[in-house]
Amino acid sequence: MPVLSQSFSPDGLAFGPRRKSFEIEEALSSDWHGSGAFRTAWFNAMSLLFPLGEKFFIDSVCHFQDDIDDPKLLAEIASFRAQESTHRVQHQRYNELLCELRDYDLIRFEKHERERMAWAYRELSARRRLAGTVANEHLTAIMANDLLTNQDVLTGADRQIASLWEWHGVEETEHKAVAFDVFVAVGGTVSERRQALLLNTFFFFKDTLRNVCIILDKEGKLWSAREWASGLKFLFLKPGMLRRVIPAWFRFFRKDFHPWQIDNRDLVRKWEQQQLVEPTSGDSV
Ligand SMILES: [Fe+2]
Ligand SMILES: [Fe+2]
């Protein structure tokens, strides 16, 4: 019997992990994103969530590997796993350096996320955990699309750290449909993924803001109205990254949604061309 296609990514899409090294140590010791503390805190807060999150994503997708027959989707699962594993390594290094250089407590930052994941493994079915991964992959894909399209979110940031975020955004773009296609192939429903997006968006903001507050508190700026005004302006007005991703966030609720309905492979090509002109140290391209 012929194997039915279970991957709905564009034909010719090929991706895998890139070997990169970023010289971020010096910049991480201070507010690397422009003059205000909030922007730096926001990106650092997200990075602090990634290693645990990405392990959860890998586990949720690979749990269903034996249920997939399509060789194209199986190859994409392997590439997804390889890319997310390198993201984990880079962000773990980022987080450890950050905490060492700025005297932050890494265990405290990860506490709530770790507890919620333990709950998810205990209480949720494997398919519900995969739905959570699909939702988080949508969040990362739409933020990556905004970051790479508009190229203003990292204006004023340290170039090496900005390069790390752009590299991560490129790979999130490439594998944005892998968890989704696995979820559909194993019978995941529209209602399950809609619920998962609502829940996971809430927890993404809760955890990120919690980490932002811990960081600003440590820096003595938690109660600075100026810092918060500038941060909220950055997120919602100018450049307004979170405002700009709202339409893309809503698209996920469509019954016939698929991540590749928006074909943004041109962003990957553009980034790859830029790498040839100004490679990051350690590039294998
Ligand atoms: Fe990632
Ligand atoms: Fe991802």
Q: Is residue 283 part of a domain?
A: no
State the residue range of the domain holding 211: 26-277
Which pLDDT score is estimated for 284?
A: 46
What's the 180 CA to ligand 1 centre distance in angstroms?
Answer: 15
What's the 138 CA to ligand 2 centre distance in angstroms?
Answer: 8
What's the 83 CA to ligand 1 centre distance in angstroms?
Answer: 7
**Tally of structural domains, the chain:** 1
Q: Is residue 20 part of a domain?
A: no
Give the tokens for residue 155: 């204006």
Q: Which ligand lies nearest to the CA atom of residue 139 in the structure? A: 2
Strand-pair partners of 193:
none
3-class state of residue 8 by DSSP: coil
Q: Which ligand lies nearest to the CA atom of residue 17 in the structure? A: 1
Q: Which ligand lies nearest to the CA atom of residue 85 in the structure? A: 1
What's the 139 CA to ligand 2 centre distance in angstroms?
Answer: 9
**Residue 239: cis peptide before it, omega within 30 degrees of 0:** yes
Q: Is residue 127 part of a domain?
A: yes
Q: Is residue 282 part of a domain?
A: no
Give the tokens for residue 183: 């979820």
Q: CB–CB of 185/67 below 8 Å?
A: yes
Q: Is residue 15 part of a domain?
A: no
Q: Is residue 12 part of a domain?
A: no
What's the 36 CA to ligand 2 centre distance in angstroms?
Answer: 28
Q: Is residue 87 part of a domain?
A: yes
DSSP state for residue 285 in the 8-state scheme = -
Residues 6+ positions from 103 with CB-CB distance below 8 Å: 218
Q: What CATH number does the domain containing 120 carry?
A: 1.10.620
Which pLDDT score is estimated for 275?
A: 87
pTM listed for this prediction? 0.95
Contacts 24+ apart (CB under 8 A), 63-67: 63/126, 63/129, 63/130, 64/126, 64/130, 64/182, 64/185, 64/186, 67/185, 67/186
Q: Which ligand lies nearest to the CA atom of residue 179 in the structure? A: 2
Along the chain (285 residues), what's the average pLDDT of each consecutive run of 10 residues? 80 91 95 91 98 98 97 97 98 98 97 96 98 98 97 94 98 98 98 98 98 97 96 95 98 98 97 82 51
Distances (CA, A) of 222 to 114, 131, 135, 242: 24, 34, 30, 21
What's the 228 CA to ligand 1 centre distance in angstroms?
Answer: 28
Which pLDDT score is estimated for 281?
A: 59
Q: Is residue 1 part of a domain?
A: no
Which pLDDT score is estimated for 285?
A: 37
Could you give the CA distance from residue 229 to residue 278 in angstroms, rounded to a whole number?
Answer: 35
Q: Which ligand lies nearest to the CA atom of residue 178 in the structure? A: 2
Which pLDDT score is estimated for 5?
A: 84
Which pLDDT score is estimated for 36?
A: 80
Which pLDDT score is estimated for 2?
A: 60
